Amino acid sequence: MKNQAIENQTKKNNQTDNQKSLELRSKSQEEAIQKAIEQLNVDKEDIEDIKVEVIEEPSKGFLGFIGAKDGLYKITLIEKQIEIKEIDIAKEFIETMLHNAKINADVIATQENNLIKIDIKGKEATTLIGRRGQTLDAVQFLTSLALNKINKDSHSRVLVDIENYREKREQSLIRYANKVAREVAKTKRTKKLDYMNPYERRIIHSALQNDKYVITCSEGTDPYRRVVIEYKR
């Protein structure tokens, strides 16, 4: 039954990520390759290599046509590997998420060394910031997961921002840190800040690292980790 199917040019099609195989009958290798390209719907420009296995040689038959029989070939088309950039993966993930949430916004992606910055522009997108940026942090975390799922060897860090929220939040945290530092310096009493994510804690530590009167440290375990500001004795 299998041989009959082959005789009728029923294809045996095997496919992997970057290669496609097809068994078919044809008068020559060249014709078999052309048929395979057409039937597998592969663009010639995308082909890196072609492998041909002759299963049965063609037979010319008596006088060149009586009893002639096409040969049986297995054609394997190996397509060029398309390198997907990590910045494109992150951007596409955000764009898909916005589309599914029916949020109209522009996505601008840039990369500096191992840092991928995704800036989302649009008033509708501000709904994704959440209280103290918690929803935004979740979006950033999911984007990092999506990137690492596709490229397990990724060493890139993703920073997602919406309408410059993080810059505004950074300035607000710096003012808050300096205000608390002045209070601690005046009262000489330790002050524990609210729970913060690692990004925000770094801002506090950086803002006060050269302060003459206070020192900072962190205590607790994420997500219940906070900055502690102490008087420098």
| Residue 151 pLDDT | 76
Phi, psi of 42 (to 5 degrees): -115, 135
| Same domain, residue pair 9 and 74 | yes
Of 79, 110, 142, the last residue of a domain is: 79
Kindly report the number of other CB atoms within 10 A of residue 81's CB atom. Answer: 9
Distance, CA of 128 to chain centre: 20
Tell if the pTM clears 0.85, that is, is over it: no
| Same domain, residue pair 74 and 97 | no
Distance CA 159, CA 180 (A): 27
Instruction: Show the CA angle centred on residue 28, arms to residues 25 and 29, nearest 5°.
Output: 90
CATH (domain of 208): 3.30.1370.50
CATH (domain of 157): 3.30.300.20
Phi, psi of 132 (to 5 degrees): 55, 30
| Same domain, residue pair 113 and 73 | no
What is the β-pairing status of strands 19-26 and 12-15?
Answer: antiparallel
pLDDT digits (tens, 9 = 90+) for 181-198: 999 999 999 999 999 888
| Residue 154 pLDDT | 78
| Residue 64 pLDDT | 55
| Same domain, residue pair 124 and 148 | yes
Report the side by side order of strands in the sheet with 115-121.
Answer: 106-112, 115-121, 157-162
Confidence of residue 138 (pLDDT cuts 50, 70, 90): very high
Token pair in block for residue 47: 């082909």
| Same domain, residue pair 23 and 74 | yes
Q: What is the mean pLDDT of residues 116-133?
A: 91
Largest CA distance in the chain: 110
For residue 225, the enclosing domain spans: 168-231
| Same domain, residue pair 51 and 91 | no
Percent of residues, the chain, with pLDDT higher than 70:
89
Distance CA 1, CA 191 (A): 83
| Same domain, residue pair 98 and 140 | yes
Of 163, 195, 213, the last residue of a domain is: 163
Angle (deg, nearest 10), helices 198-208 and 165-187: 50
| Same domain, residue pair 137 and 155 | yes
| Same domain, residue pair 204 and 149 | no
pLDDT digits (tens, 9 = 90+) for 2-41: 444 334 444 445 565 678 888 988 888 898 889 888 888 8
| Same domain, residue pair 105 and 132 | yes
Phi, psi of 125 (to 5 degrees): -70, -20
> In the chain, what are the helix, strand and coil shares in percent, each to the nearest 5?
40, 35, 25
| Residue 229 pLDDT | 97
Of 130, 163, 196, the last residue of a domain is: 163
| Same domain, residue pair 73 and 13 | yes
Sequential DSSP letters for 133-202: GHHHHHHHHHHHHHHHHH-TT---EEEEEETTHHHHHHHHHHHHHHHHHHHHHHH---EEEEE--HHHHH
Classify burial at 93, counting beta carbons within 10 Å of its beta carbon; exposed 0-12, middle 13-18, buried 19 or more.
buried
Q: How many domains does the chain have?
A: 3
| Same domain, residue pair 95 and 157 | yes
